[in-house]
Amino acid sequence: MEKVAMMIKARRLFKDTTDLPTLPAIVSKVVSMLDDPEASPDDIADLMLSDQVLAARVIRVVNSPLYRTSSAIMSVKRALIFLGFKSVREMILTSYFVDGFKNKNQPFDMKMFWINSFSAGAISRHIADQVDYPDIEKAYLVGILHDIGKVFLGHYFKDEYGQMLTSIKNTSFTTYEAEYEFFGTTHCEVGLCLAQRWNFPSVYSDIISYHHAPEMATEDPLLTSIVALADFYCLSHVSSGCFAQASIPGLAEENAWKIFTQLVPKPPASSLEHFLSYLDEEYEVISREVDLLFNTMTT
């Protein structure tokens, strides 16, 4: 598949959409400040307080069962100190993304989509933690966001996407392959357009763009391979909902495994097959976190 031609098609699909959810400017500003290790909690808290919706959202999530605080946290600055900049960045981006597409009609079960996304995020974070990847929050966030292109295609091309999903039921086609046949592009290229529109950091955009072709990733090949493996595990072993995913690893997963084992000093398993079984053993614990995430972020 020719990436340049697929990008041109994706940009064309984007051109005609006028009511794209936007990330409020204040949120983009807060997120980039949270990325700056030199920024002070006071300055960030002041900026967050200038948007009451944002401030209220952070207070609500920090007091949810997801973070087991011993007493109620009622100030934004305390939330920043309690959770740390990276976790707050992760929480804000996730909740705005969920919110942006919350009430959009889809030809697939959105609950299933979120469960898959939160599972991929939680598994990516778990793998990242196991191999001492330096930013496990980033692994979590990009794991959640990697398939955003599906939400865009499903909403703005609802009938075609619905027909496409129906047409591959009980066939060996994957959703990714079918998207290419129907649209001449896939959720990866469309997701990249969306990530650029929302000014996501370039590493997020690169992973969204290449999680089905991890050998082409340039920004962070290790994290791309982690997300690709987590994504495959979720869709083939947890639940794919109405999305179609081969149950046997294909070229993309083999490549992801190769990159992963080349870049990780001590992989947690000796082969891709063993690695998938290892994730199976871990999933019971991870799934409890997924339920909490789902309840916190979607209510």
The residues that touch Fe ion, with contacts defined as CB under 5 A, are 147
Coil vs helix vs strand at 56: helix
Minimum separation from the CB atom of position 187 to Fe ion (A): 6
Place of tokens 């979590």: 140
Residue 218 CB coordination number (10 Å): 11
Q: Which is nearer to Fe ion, 186 or 296 (CB)?
A: 186
Minimum separation from the CB atom of position 48 to Fe ion (A): 32
Minimum separation from the CB atom of position 144 to Fe ion (A): 12
Q: Which is nearer to Fe ion, 149 or 267 (CB)?
A: 149
Minimum separation from the CB atom of position 160 to Fe ion (A): 18
State whether the Cα torsion 101-20-204-39 is positive or negative: negative
193 exposure class (CB count in 10 Å sphere: 0-12, 13-18, 19+): buried
The residue among 191, 275, 216 whose CA lies nearest residue 1 is 216
Buried b (16+ CB within 10 A) or exposed e, 42-73: eebbebbeebeebbebbbebbbbeebeeeeeb
Residue with nearest beta carbon to Fe ion: 147
Q: Which is nearer to Fe ion, 31 or 234 (CB)?
A: 234
Minimum separation from the CB atom of position 176 to Fe ion (A): 6
How far, in Å, CA of 180 to CA of 284, rounded? Answer: 34
Minimum separation from the CB atom of position 61 to Fe ion (A): 26
Q: Which is nearer to Fe ion, 48 or 141 (CB)?
A: 141
Q: Which is nearer to Fe ion, 47 or 110 (CB)?
A: 110
Q: Which is nearer to Fe ion, 82 or 101 (CB)?
A: 101
Angle between helices 76-83 and 85-100 (to 10 degrees): 110
Coil vs helix vs strand at 118: helix
